[in-house]
């Protein structure tokens, strides 16, 4: 890919992730960019295992990220499949990636995953201060890995739009084709 | 609804709209907030009639908007059905709403809808300067009207989350129920 998002400001560290639920409706929420996976174009997101998006992604692994950069007026629409890596994953390499992403996030972020079940009715007595976390304890959340296969890039300053489509070469390596399209 | 988004800065005039395409995949893009419809909680968006989202919405009218307010750290996830109002709409009231939304947008925005077909390969010779628009000429684009039935409000400063669900009273009027849920 010739263009890659380079998050520089606080407005650029998050994007919107759309999924499809088992009710056949789409869901859309803001998530935090946790970097690309080493030597790849795969995008990492940390999430609570009890979050609805896990259920959505297990039902339908296709998702679209919409990443808008306020300062540069650039939008990346990134469509692909999402791998959900939780503690039950049988692949040791993936479990290692999950652990790495867990320790790369702040202790405060990690603490969230020990709070009450997101989306369930609040029991007002509960205080998040009740939880504490041993900084050395392993991952509780899940790692989501977005493997992009289509990227729609739009630059509203230059009025340029490029459609990127991934293809596989004869060795099974991913390559990107690009084509200018009308904005 | 007790909370309503009040766009105040340039970061707050747009949000992300997720739809489901006929290929069964979700699509997600940034769109501009064009106000609430008079005396209602319905949200207006202007769009090009040739845009893929029209096709998506005709296939599946359910969509979710994700509206994140950078300054206040508030997120509104607004789920509902979307009415697509183009020139072929048989309802005179809806055609009037479309006309009103068209003239409320800037001549520059309107000119976009006369450009080349969005998403098709660029023919580099084409220049948007070739187009001109009589400021008095009627609507070319379509008006999208989002009728919300569920709103998930999240305040990351106060760590408060509220689930709003619409119900109908005995007169068929829309009412909102709210419940605090864990963030």
pLDDT in tens, B68-90: 999 999 999 999 999 999 999 99
Lowest mean pLDDT among A83-87, A139-143, B2-6: B2-6
Note whether A181 contacts B122, CB cutoff 8 Å: yes
Mutate to test the interface with B, among A29, A31, A77 (most CBs of B within 10 A): A29
Please count the residue pairs, one from chain A and one from chain B, whose beta carbons lie less than 8 angstroms apart.
133
C-alpha distances in Å from residue A118, one per residue of A145, B93, B183: 21, 42, 5
| For residue B49, pLDDT beyond 70 | yes
C-alpha distances in Å from residue B131, one per residue of A13, B47, B108, B124, B128: 37, 18, 11, 15, 6
Q: Phi and psi (nearest 5°) for A75?
A: -125, 135
What average pLDDT does the structure give for chain B?
Answer: 91
Percent of chain B clearing pLDDT 90 (strictly above): 79
Provide ipTM, 2 decimals. 0.92
Confidence band, pLDDT 50/70/90 cuts, at residue B110: very high
A60 touches chain B (CB under 8 A): yes
Note whether A30 contacts B70, CB cutoff 8 Å: no
Structure tokens at A1: 């890919």
A32 touches chain B (CB under 8 A): no
Confidence band, pLDDT 50/70/90 cuts, at residue A89: very high
| For residue B3, pLDDT beyond 50 | no
| For residue B130, pLDDT beyond 70 | no
Chain A residues near residue B43 by CB distance under 8 angstroms: none
| For residue B131, pLDDT beyond 90 | no
Give the angle subtended at the CA of B75 by the CAs of A57 and B23, to the nearest 5°: 35
Which of these, B104, B96, B130, lies nearest to B115 by C-alpha position? B130
Give the angle subtended at the CA of B35 by the CAs of B29 and B37, to the nearest 5°: 115
Out of A18, A120, A183, the one facing B28 most closely (by C-beta) is A18
Note whether B64 contacts A180, CB cutoff 8 Å: no
What pLDDT, on a 0 to 100 scale, did the predictor assign at position B135? Answer: 87
Mutate to test the interface with B, among A78, A81, A122 (most CBs of B within 10 A): A122
For residue range A132-160, what is the model confidence (pLDDT) as tens digits? 888 899 999 999 999 999 999 999 999 99
| For residue B170, pLDDT beyond 70 | yes
The answer to whether the CB of B138 falls within 8 A of the CB of B102 is: yes
What pLDDT, on a 0 to 100 scale, did the predictor assign at position A2? Answer: 45
* B10-115+132-181: CATH class: mainly beta
Chain A residues near residue B118 by CB distance under 8 angstroms: 161, 181-183
Q: Rounded to an integer, what distance in angstroms lies between the CA atom of residue A155 and that of residue A45?
A: 25
Chain B residues near residue A75 by CB distance under 8 angstroms: 29-30
Burial, A160: exposed, middle or buried (Cβ in 10 Å; 0-12, 13-18, 19+)?
A: middle
Q: Within a 13 Å sphere around the CA of B99, how many CA atoms are in the beta-carbon half?
A: 12
| For residue A165, pLDDT beyond 60 | yes
Domain ranges of chain A: 10-115+136-181
Chain A residues near residue B16 by CB distance under 8 angstroms: 16, 18, 28, 66, 68
What pLDDT, on a 0 to 100 scale, did the predictor assign at position A9? Answer: 60
Q: Rounded to an integer, what distance in angstroms lies between the CA atom of residue A151 and that of residue A4?
A: 10
Q: Rounded to an integer, what distance in angstroms lies between the CA atom of residue A37 and that of residue A102?
A: 13
C-alpha distances in Å from residue A131, one per residue of A48, A87, A99, A124, B9: 15, 21, 21, 15, 36
A57 touches chain B (CB under 8 A): no
What average pLDDT does the structure give for chain A?
Answer: 91
What pLDDT, on a 0 to 100 scale, did the predictor assign at position A124? Answer: 62
**3 state DSSP class of B131:** coil
Per CATH, domain A10-115+136-181 is 3.30.2350.10: no
Mutate to test the interface with B, among A7, A22, A25 (most CBs of B within 10 A): A25
| For residue A96, pLDDT beyond 90 | yes
B93 touches chain A (CB under 8 A): no
Chain B residues near residue A118 by CB distance under 8 angstroms: 161, 181-183
**3 state DSSP class of A136:** coil
| For residue B180, pLDDT beyond 80 | yes
* Residues 6 or more apart whose Cβ sits within 8 Å of residue A178: A1, A2, A162, A163, A164, A165
The answer to whether the CB of B132 falls within 8 A of the CB of B154 is: no
The answer to whether the CB of A117 falls within 8 A of the CB of A125 is: no
The answer to whether the CB of B66 falls within 8 A of the CB of B12 is: no
């Amino acid at each position: 890919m010739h263009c890659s998002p380079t998050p520089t400001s606080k407005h650029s560290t998050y994007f919107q992730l759309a999924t499809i639920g088992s009710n056949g409706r789409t869901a859309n929420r803001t998530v935090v960019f946790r970097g690309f996976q080493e030597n790849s174009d795969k995008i990492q997101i940390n999430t609570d295992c009890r979050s609805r998006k896990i259920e959505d992604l297990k039902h339908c692994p296709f998702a679209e990220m919409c990443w808008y950069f306020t300062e540069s007026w650039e939008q990346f629409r990134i469509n692909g499949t999402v791998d959900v890596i939780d503690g039950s994953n049988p692949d040791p390499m993936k479990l290692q990636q999950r652990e790495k992403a867990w320790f790369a996030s702040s202790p405060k972020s990690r603490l969230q995953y020990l709070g009450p079940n997101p989306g369930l009715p609040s029991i007002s007595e509960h205080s998040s201060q009740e939880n504490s976390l041993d900084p050395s304890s392993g991952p509780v959340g899940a790692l989501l890995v977005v493997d992009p296969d289509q990227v729609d890039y739009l630059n509203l300053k230059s009025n340029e739009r490029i459609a990127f489509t991934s293809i596989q070469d004869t060795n099974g390596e991913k390559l990107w084709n690009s084509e200018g399209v009308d904005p």
